[in-house]
Amino acid sequence: MITGTGTGVGKTVTVAAIAALALDQGQRVAVLKPAQTGVEDGEPGDLDDVVRLAGRVTTVELRRYPDPLSPEAAARRSGIPPVTPSDIAKAATELDADHDLVLVEGAGGLLVRFDAAGSTLADVAWSLGAVLVVVAEAGLGTLNATALTAEVATRRGLNVAGVVIGSWPAEPDLAMVSNLEDLPVAAGGLLLGALPAGAGGVPREEFLAHARGGLSPWFGGEFDPECFAGSASAQK
């Protein structure tokens, strides 16, 4: 399960990077997007970006809502049925039967609601026993959002593997450099990567190189948090 501390933090690029490394290792990869919001029928969505960046992965989108709202609010406004945890769990389980890796990308943060019953990605992660990866921003304010996400996940019995910085700028400020040390503490897990800003706009071959350099060996990459932090500190 890939969740974020909010919207626009780099979840889709992170999913694509994990998928790209797994494909490069010869794995069969599937990416499940339970709810795509803010996209009309026929328009490219997050899964199209994953395929463009990572390559030939199996993709499944369960619901698509035109309004750029939470899945619950978008479903209510559109009249399209909401997606439920059982829908998501069923799709993930079916994909798991013939794939080596199944990645589930949430919408927004961990507690964004899918339906009027208050179902969230946290419920799905718990029901599947899935490992949770948190994608966070680099700069000021990210520690609180990351800590809140991790605390909720831990209280609900979820396994938080660690945190990935979804977009790392070429010229980080002091807060960003300091956060390299503090983010793993806030997340209660490892710093599993930092993907360069703009990685989602490069060709596939270049993206694979970014994925390899920006993600931990835990995903099949080469990212070393200590070396990265040392290099970033030297810029300040």
Tell me the CATH class for 2-234.
alpha beta
How many C-beta atoms lie closer than 10 Å to residue 67's C-beta?
Answer: 15
- pTM of the model as a whole: 0.95
What is residue 156's DSSP assignment?
Answer: T
Whole-number CA gyration radius for the chain: 17
- 33 annotated active-site: yes
DSSP result, 79-123: -PPPP-HHHHHHHHHHHHTT-SEEEEEEEEETT--SSTT---HHH
Please tell me which residue in 11, 33, 90, 236 is annotated as part of the active site: 33
The Cα 102–Cα 125 span in angstroms is 12
The Cα 114–Cα 121 span in angstroms is 8
Domain limits, the chain: 2-234
CB proximity list for 94: less than 8 A, separation 6 or greater: none
Per-residue pLDDT of the chain (236 residues; tens, 9 = 90+): 999 999 899 999 999 999 999 999 999 999 999 999 999 999 999 999 999 999 999 999 999 999 999 999 999 999 999 999 999 999 999 999 999 999 999 988 999 999 999 999 999 999 999 999 999 999 999 999 999 999 999 999 999 999 999 999 999 999 999 999 999 999 999 999 999 999 999 999 999 999 999 999 999 999 999 999 888 877 76
